[in-house]
Amino acid sequence: MAASPLPRWAPSPSPTRPLKTPGTPSTGTTAAATSSSWRSCVPFITTFSSVFGAARRGGLPGGKPPALALPDAGSHDDVVGCQYGHCHVGGIAPVDGVEAVVERRQDDEVTSMACSRGVFLTWDDLSVTAPATAGGRQGRAVILDGLSGYTRPGEVLALMGPSGCGKTTLLDALAGRLSPNMKMRGDILINGLREKLSFGTSAYVTQENMLMATLTVTEAVRYSAQLQLPDSMPVAEKRARADRAIRQMGLAAVADVRIGGRVCKGISGGQRKRVSICVELLASPALLFLDEPTSGLDSAASYHVMSRIAGLARRDGMTVVAAVHQPSTEVFELFHGLCLLATGRTVYFGAASDAIEFFDANGFPCPLRRNPSDHFLRMINKDFEGASPIPERQATFLTKTYVLTKRSIVNMHRDAGYYWLRFVIYIAICLSIGTIFFNVGSNFASIQARASMLMFTSTLLTMMAIGGFPSFVEDMKIFRKERMSGHYGATEFVISNTLSSIPYLGLISIIPGAIAYYLTGLQRGIDHFIYFAAVLWACTMLVEGLMMIVAAIVPDFLLGIITGSGVQGVLMLNAGFFRLPSDLPKPVWKYPTYFISYHKYATQGLYKNELLGLAFEDIGGGGLTISGEYILKNYLQVELSYSKWVDLAILVAMIIIYRVLFLVIIKISEIVKPRMLHFLCASKV
């Protein structure tokens, strides 16, 4: 058999200090298990000179990326054949430059996979720094310092180390997710070339499970499949792939159970983690990044999750890099490679199975019946001294928008706090309004009653929209997580959020609005009521747009509600009801606040809709009447130079402006937020 073209998992001598092998006699210095002697062991970084030297010249030996699909193709009984290649211990190598194809049995079907699809990830002399302030002077703190390593298709590389050692930073650097305020130096190579990770090539599972609590497991995975997979793929095939991912992660028993969240109980924490992994595996990524996949799970759940991942990596030739904190012995045995970090530097890089021998040879033997990972972390912790290819990589813009809208409608329907609770409260309030202003009549006093009822109804319904802010914040969290994974963009999210809210806000405007409208005895024409309900709908749409903007800027529930209430209060004061337009102070309050307040156009439109065409008894009696037009012009100071439909059109235009502003804020916040966080952190130092 031909020799493997790739280096095997094995530590190599450090250029700064000779690495002791198991056969090397131990000296008193290295045998002393003291903090000072372990600090001297930190430079035991392994290097792969032959690989990285070729990588710097633009590729691995031979000038081509390694064609490797499985780490040990000959040892797996699901591999039934290999064309145009040699199967050997190192993997599968092509013959005469022709792409090797592996045939394997999967789900009772024989499938083929090209060897070149595997991703060989290499990093050389990788360093990351972040802004820091010390002694009143600005500088940069070193987070990662000269790391080198690699990982291969079909294998799981574990990044381990104490808290703050740089595991997540290394993971983010390899995945291209570093914060803008961090600077990276060094080479990251994909199959020996400096390439960016394209969609479908890699997936990233975050530590926190960002999932819609109201969806079932099947719905969550299927919606994600429709977002990620191309339109050319039939819907039935997308569903089949989603269902297969659910079975692969052992979730078939809870496929129809809701995920659950802060209100309703759902699936367990381990099952949520597996759903998050399912979502990222749908596009069959060749490279999978996992940030603390076992965090918050018991040992049994941790083993179940990691064993599934290791099995998928072996079967599909997927490259897996996982940042893991204190795995159990069973989980540790699933890892092929191990990268131990301490204070941003590599302590050990090599085969996970050889780590115990490495520590033993350098004077830090692992006691019997102790978890090796616990032993490694205790020794290096200085804080307490002593997928199948897809021709088109994503769904189209329209498909993403449609799927997101459909998913959002389902979520809004099932989340009682989104609209249904407000709907019940609106009905109760509108019943109160209708009974208090019941049949106001047409006398002179009814003028003020009608104006007060219209103003109160429109403003209260919009103020109550603030109650949905917690749900808006959860939507933003899910959006940020899925956007980072490349599932869809900000434009699709804003459009789908807008479209999905339209029917629910329409329901809220029509039914409670009808109760208040007809009990009060306002104009009976159906066209007048339609306009009344349309203005209420436009106002609630505007406020939701405003609160989504606040949610994009202020993720804290309490602070966001206070901010939204304050902005609404200022706009409401300048609507022309509490102070007539001629009485408003011209600087600031009339120009420009009065003209940018949507309450102005909502109130004016409702006044015109109700009072035009009516006549009221004069306060002096005698059979004299006052026209509604006179009341609008002289008593309420409403602008009559344009019709009520212009007011409604202005409200609709403001809805669009608010949503566009929401989109702009999202894009700006992605740039500004990291810098603000850096400034706040630096100011506290």
pLDDT tens-digit map of 27-69? 332 222 323 322 323 333 333 333 333 333 333 333 333 333 3
Of all residues in the chain, what percent carry a pLDDT higher than 90?
Answer: 22
CA 467 to chain centre: 23
- Residue with token string 């939507």: 475
Would you say residue 97 lies in a domain? no
Q: Is residue 641 pLDDT above 60, yes or no?
A: yes
DSSP one-letter code for 658: H
Average pLDDT, the chain: 77
pLDDT confidence tier of residue 147, bands split at 50, 70 and 90: very high
Strands in 79-83's sheet, in edge-to-edge order, are 79-83, 101-106, 109-114
Task: Compute the radius of gyration of the chain from its Cα atoms.
Answer: 32
Instruction: Find which of 61-70, 179-188, 449-458 is predicted with most confidence, using mean pLDDT.
Output: 449-458
Q: Which residues pair with 106 in a beta bridge?
A: 109
- Residue 509, pLDDT score: 92
User: Residue 463 CB: number of other CB atoms within 10 A?
Assistant: 16
Give dist(CA 160, CA 169) in Å, integer: 12
Same domain, 517 and 428: yes
Label each residue of 386-405 as H, E or C: CCCCCCCCCCCHHHHHHHHH
Q: Is residue 681 pLDDT above 90, yes or no?
A: no
Same domain, 383 and 416: no
The per-residue pLDDT for range 88-138, each reduced to its tens digit, is: 333 444 444 444 445 555 445 444 444 445 788 899 999 998 887 655 567
Its domain, for residue 140, covers 1-17+42-53+127-201+290-301+318-359+369-387
Same domain, 434 and 336: no
- Residue 382, pLDDT score: 54
Q: What is the pTM of this model?
A: 0.64
The per-residue pLDDT for range 624-640, each reduced to its tens digit, is: 788 888 889 888 888 88
User: Residue 580 CB: number of other CB atoms within 10 A?
Assistant: 11
Across residues 413-419, what is the average pLDDT?
A: 84
- Residue 514, pLDDT score: 94
Show the tokens assigned to 33. Answer: 């298990």
Amino acid at 104: R
- Residue 49, pLDDT score: 32
Give dist(CA 535, CA 541) in Å, integer: 10
Contact 444, 617 (CB under 8 A): yes
Across residues 476-492, what is the average pLDDT?
A: 85
Would you say residue 493 lies in a domain? yes
Pick the more confident residue, 439 or 680. 439
Would you say residue 141 lies in a domain? yes
Would you say residue 334 lies in a domain? yes
Report DSSP letters for 80-114, one per residue: EEEESEEEETTEEEEBTTBPPEEEEEETTEEEEEE
- Residue 117, pLDDT score: 56
Same domain, 534 and 438: yes
Amino acid at 524: R
Same domain, 490 and 567: yes
Q: What kind and span of H or E run contains 290? A: strand 287-291
- Residue 505, pLDDT score: 92
Rounded to the nearest 5 degrees, what angle is found at the Cα of 539, between the Cα atoms of 536 and 542? 150
The per-residue pLDDT for range 576-629, each reduced to its tens digit, is: 888 888 888 888 888 888 888 888 999 999 999 999 988 888 776 666 788 888
Q: Which phi and psi (to 5°) does residue 195 adopt?
A: -125, 150
pLDDT confidence tier of residue 661, bands split at 50, 70 and 90: very high
Same domain, 437 and 297: no
CA 561 to chain centre: 22
Pick the more confident residue, 56 or 463. 463
Contact 212, 220 (CB under 8 A): yes
Give dist(CA 186, CA 148) in Å, integer: 9
Would you say residue 392 lies in a domain? no
Give dist(CA 280, CA 199) in Å, integer: 11
Would you say residue 601 lies in a domain? no
Show the tokens assigned to 531. Answer: 């306009």
Same domain, 379 and 519: no
Same domain, 381 and 406: no
Same domain, 423 and 557: yes
- Say whether the peptide bond before residue 389 is cis (omega within 30 degrees of 0): no
Give dist(CA 402, CA 495) in Å, integer: 9
Give dist(CA 322, CA 158) in Å, integer: 5
Give dist(CA 552, CA 251) in Å, integer: 33
Would you say residue 582 lies in a domain? no
- Residue 329, pLDDT score: 84
Q: Which CATH number fits the domain that encloses residue 142?
A: 3.40.50.300
Same domain, 417 and 441: yes
Q: Is residue 499 pLDDT above 90, yes or no?
A: yes
Which among 570, 581, 586, 576 is positioned nearest to 607, based on CA atoms?
A: 576
Same domain, 407 and 339: no
* Overall domain count for the chain: 2
Same domain, 339 and 419: no
Contact 203, 195 (CB under 8 A): no
Would you say residue 606 lies in a domain? no
Show the tokens assigned to 275. Answer: 């759903």
The per-residue pLDDT for range 349-368, each reduced to its tens digit, is: 988 888 888 888 887 888 87
